[in-house]
């Protein structure tokens, strides 16, 4: 059975040393008490629960899956108890405003815990994860009455939240949503329609489920400008806020899926269910995006979490499994064969996972700090700057983290050879679970279009301009740092390539919109790899500085992994750049009938 140990030391490195989050975050109003000791204690406490109680349910949850009978869903054995421990420990509400019953900690801490939780059990993580997203949408856009009625129990975790967007004819294209909302005399709405692919749409963990539903008002304009957002509880609360009356909400079935089998994926039927408008009429998609942006980042984190746990188990196997001899002569002549770890190709696979994981962890925490800054920076300029960076990097994290997560869980599975393909060893589950992150919450193709068609252009191109400036400034600051030059050189080369490509793309897109679509996926990958290179050079710089002061092995490994990233993985951008420059015509020239 696979095991998992939370990478506390590396999270501490990223938080305390690399990004100096202590200084940045404690300067923000409300976070003054977030001492380094408190952060470390939370990480360790969370790790204990996830490692000991939630991770052991990952494999059994996959085997058993969710079951459906008479409209009710049973989650796998142990999920109920684990969910109780999770909510009672206060893990649902770390970053929620204390006024709403939360603990008012920085989002940054919540992000770090999310990585650990997804390593331990992605299926489990989705239940509280969606509730967290629903809380943020409700608290940002709902009326005070709705907030007072629904948020406290959601923050406590005794009620959960979902997002009901997709319908059978409306996936990526939410303009095609058909679910209807009819105004009632009491100011509420009768919601009618069928939603599919609803994660946690029905389950046996919470006493109530609060659905956030996209639907159309009568006479709403067609397309995305005619969609409104509704809060539709499974059970309508009575005057004491106890879930009392069954609403017109039913689970029709659950899906049989490739992975995340411990997470229920439901068809939810709304039959004149009582719902309550959130935000202005016909502005539902904008309100939903509060939740979707948070979810997109969380889903990127799933890629990292799965890659980390897969890496750990592949390393353990590569250390113990004896097979063949090192090419340079036997490394362990006293044994029947050498451990797999002597083989360069095995190390290539492991280091690929490691280099992506550590780069991703740094970038995730950097992004989370910017989320906190965007909420609490004292200046509007500081808030906008942080908001811009988060908006730009969100599709990159969602798509690239989930892409590399699938690639590296596959590589780590490969390290185990035939045993990687057998269910018993658990590696193939990581691959199956990782696969969904490339698809849900907007496919990675849609993320790439969000980056190249929207984020590059809004506010007159301000987002990439700010971002590139940040990277350029860093490079300039390090100009006299001699030991860093071998690392900074490939980074600057990548940055130049990315900037030139961005200019080319923006120009091309002006005359041929298909150039943007044709370039999108590969462009996002170049963007991500360059951003990782930035993080890696920063990590190497810190490690070079600190290496002499103790914990030498940690910093040495960090520098070594950085070298691997820059030398072995970053060059991908050369081929991708050439591929993009071959242009959209290669894709569009073929008549549809010829496929």
Active site residues: 441
Contact call for residue 339 and its own copies (CB under 8 A) = yes
Pick the stretch among 26-34, 41-49, 202-210, 582-590 that binds its own copies (CB under 8 A): 582-590
Query: Which of 183, 221, 280, 575 touches its own copies (CB under 8 A)?
Result: 575
CA distance readout (Å), 182 to 124, 178, 189, 215, 286: 35, 13, 5, 10, 21
**Cβ(253)–Cβ(198) below 8 Å:** no
Crossing angle of helices 344-376 and 380-396, rounded to 10°: 150
End-to-end CA distance of the chain: 44
Contact status: 406 vs its own copies (CB under 8 A): yes
How far apart are alpha carbons 370 and 569 in whole angstroms?
Answer: 27
Q: Is the dihedral of CA 16, 492, 350, 367 positive or negative?
A: positive
Residue 270 to residues 84, 181, 285, 395, 546: CA-CA distances in angstroms?
Answer: 28, 10, 19, 31, 58
Determine if 318 is a binding residue for its own copies (CB under 8 A): yes
Output the furthest CA–CA distance in the chain (Å, rounded). 84
Among positions 449, 451, 495, 537, the unique one binding its own copies when judged by CB under 8 A: 449
- Give the number of other CB atoms < 10 A from CB of residue 356: 29
CB of 446: closest distance to its own copies in angstroms?
A: 9
Among 29, 185, 327, 549, binds its own copies (CB under 8 A): 327
Q: Which is nearer to its own copies, 247 or 410 (CB)?
A: 410
* DSSP 8-state assignment for residue 453: I
Three-state DSSP string of 381-410: HHHHHHHHHHHHHHHHHHHHHHHHHHHHHH
- Residue 159 forms beta bridges with which residues? 208
214 binds its own copies (CB under 8 A): no
Residue 557 engages its own copies in binding (rule: CB under 8 A): yes
Of 440, 487, 534, 536, the one binding its own copies by CB under 8 A: 440
- Which 66-125 residues touch its own copies, going by CB under 8 A? none
Residue 46: CB minimum distance to its own copies, A: 24
Binding span for its own copies by CB under 8 A among 48-56, 113-121, 254-262, 500-508: 254-262
CA 573, 401, 397: angle at the middle one, nearest 5?
Answer: 90
Task: Enumerate the β-bridge partners of residue 198.
Answer: 266
Window contacting its own copies (CB under 8 A); options: 234-242, 293-301, 511-519, 542-550: 511-519
Residues in 182-201 at the binding interface with its own copies, rule: CB under 8 A: 196-197
User: Which region among 207-215, 377-385, 411-419, 541-549 touches its own copies (by CB under 8 A)?
Assistant: 411-419
Query: Rule CB under 8 A: is residue 345 a binding residue for its own copies?
Result: yes
Tell me which of 179, 521, 530, 543 binds its own copies, using CB under 8 A. 521
Under the binding rule (CB under 8 A), the answer on residue 518 touching its own copies is yes
Q: Provide the phi-psi class of 279: left if phi over 0, else alpha when psi is between -120 and 50, else beta.
A: left
Exactly one of 282, 514, 544, 547 binds its own copies (CB under 8 A); that residue is 514
Tell me: does residue 300 bind its own copies (CB under 8 A). Answer: no
Taking the complex as a whole, how short is the minimal distance between the CB of residue 247 and its own copies, in angstroms?
A: 25
CB 400 within 8 A of CB 524: yes
Interface region with its own copies, contact rule CB under 8 A, candidates 43-51, 80-88, 236-244, 439-447: 439-447
**Is the CB of 38 or the CB of 510 nearer to its own copies?**
510
Window 30-49: residues binding its own copies (CB under 8 A) = none
Give 107 or 450: the residue with its C-beta nearer to its own copies.
450
Out of 184, 245, 479, 568, name the contact with its own copies by CB under 8 A. Answer: 568
Q: Which spans in 107-253 are helix H?
A: 107-141, 144-156
**Where in 148-167 is the site for its own copies (CB under 8 A)?**
166
CA distances from 85 to 46, 76, 345, 397, 516 (A): 11, 16, 42, 30, 47
Query: How many residues lie near its own copies (CB under 8 A)?
Result: 99
Q: CB 83 → its own copies: shortest distance, Å? A: 24
Check binding of 404 to its own copies (CB under 8 A). no
């Amino acid at each position: 059975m696979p095991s998992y140990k939370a990478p506390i030391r590396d999270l501490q490195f990223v938080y305390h040393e690399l990004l100096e989050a202590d200084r940045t975050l404690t300067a923000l109003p409300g976070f003054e008490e977030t001492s380094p000791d408190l952060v470390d204690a939370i990480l360790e406490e969370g790790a204990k629960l996830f490692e000991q109680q939630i991770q052991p349910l990952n494999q059994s949850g996959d085997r058993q899956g969710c079951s459906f009978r008479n409209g009710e869903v049973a989650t796998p054995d142990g999920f109920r108890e684990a969910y109780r421990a999770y909510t009672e420990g206060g893990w649902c509400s770390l970053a929620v405003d204390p006024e709403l019953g939360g603990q008012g900690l920085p989002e940054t801490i919540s992000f770090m815990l999310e990585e650990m939780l997804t390593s331990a059990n992605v299926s489990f993580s989705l239940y509280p994860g969606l509730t967290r997203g629903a809380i943020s949408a409700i608290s940002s856009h709902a009326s005070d009455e709705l907030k007072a009625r629904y948020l406290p129990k959601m923050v406590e975790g005794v009620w959960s939240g979902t997002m009901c967007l997709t319908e059978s004819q409306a996936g990526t294209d939410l303009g095609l949503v058909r679910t209807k909302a009819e105004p009632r005399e009491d100011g509420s709405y009768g919601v009618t329609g069928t939603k599919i692919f609803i994660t946690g749409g029905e389950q046996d963990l919470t006493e109530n489920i609060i659905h956030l539903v996209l639907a159309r008002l009568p006479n709403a304009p067609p397309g995305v400008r005619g969609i409104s957002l509704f809060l539709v509880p499974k059970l309508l609360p009575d005057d004491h806020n106890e879930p009392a009356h069954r609403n017109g909400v039913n689970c029709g079935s659950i899906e049989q899926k490739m992975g995340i089998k411990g997470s229920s994926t439901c068809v939810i039927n709304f039959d004149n269910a009582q719902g309550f408008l959130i935000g202005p009429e016909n502005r539902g998609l904008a309100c939903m995006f509060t939740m979707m942006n948070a979810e997109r980042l969380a889903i990127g984190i799933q890629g990292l979490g799965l890659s980390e746990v897969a890496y750990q188990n592949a390393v353990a196997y590569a250390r113990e499994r004896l097979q063949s001899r090192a090419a340079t002569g036997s490394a362990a002549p006293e044994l029947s064969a050498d451990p797999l770890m002597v083989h360069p190709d095995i190390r290539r696979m492991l280091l690929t996972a490691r280099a992506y994981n550590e780069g991703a962890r740094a970038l995730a925490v950097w992004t989370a700090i910017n989320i906190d800054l965007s909420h609490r920076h004292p200046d509007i300029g500081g808030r906008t700057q942080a908001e811009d960076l988060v908006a730009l990097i969100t599709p990159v994290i969602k798509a690239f983290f989930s892409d590399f997560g699938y690639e590296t869980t596959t590589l780590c599975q490969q390290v185990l050879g035939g045993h990687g393909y057998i269910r018993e060893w658990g590696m193939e589950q990581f691959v199956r679970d990782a696969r969904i992150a490339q698809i849900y919450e907007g496919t990675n193709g849609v993320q790439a279009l969000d980056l190249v068609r929207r984020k590059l252009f809004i506010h007159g191109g301000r987002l990439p301009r700010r971002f590139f400036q940040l990277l350029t400034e860093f490079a300039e600051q390090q100009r006299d740092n001699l030991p860093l030059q071998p690392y900074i050189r490939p980074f600057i080369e990548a940055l130049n390539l990315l900037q030139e490509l961005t200019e080319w793309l923006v120009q091309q897109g002006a005359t041929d919109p298909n150039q943007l679509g044709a370039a999108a996926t590969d462009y996002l990958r170049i963007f991500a790899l360059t951003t990782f290179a930035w993080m890696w050079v920063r990590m190497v710089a810190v490690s070079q500085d600190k290496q002499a002061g103790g914990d030498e092995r940690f910093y040495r490994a960090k520098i070594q992994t950085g070298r691997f990233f820059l030398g072995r993985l970053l060059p991908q951008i050369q081929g991708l750049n050439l591929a993009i420059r071959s242009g959209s015509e290669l894709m569009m020239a073929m008549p549809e009938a010829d496929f």
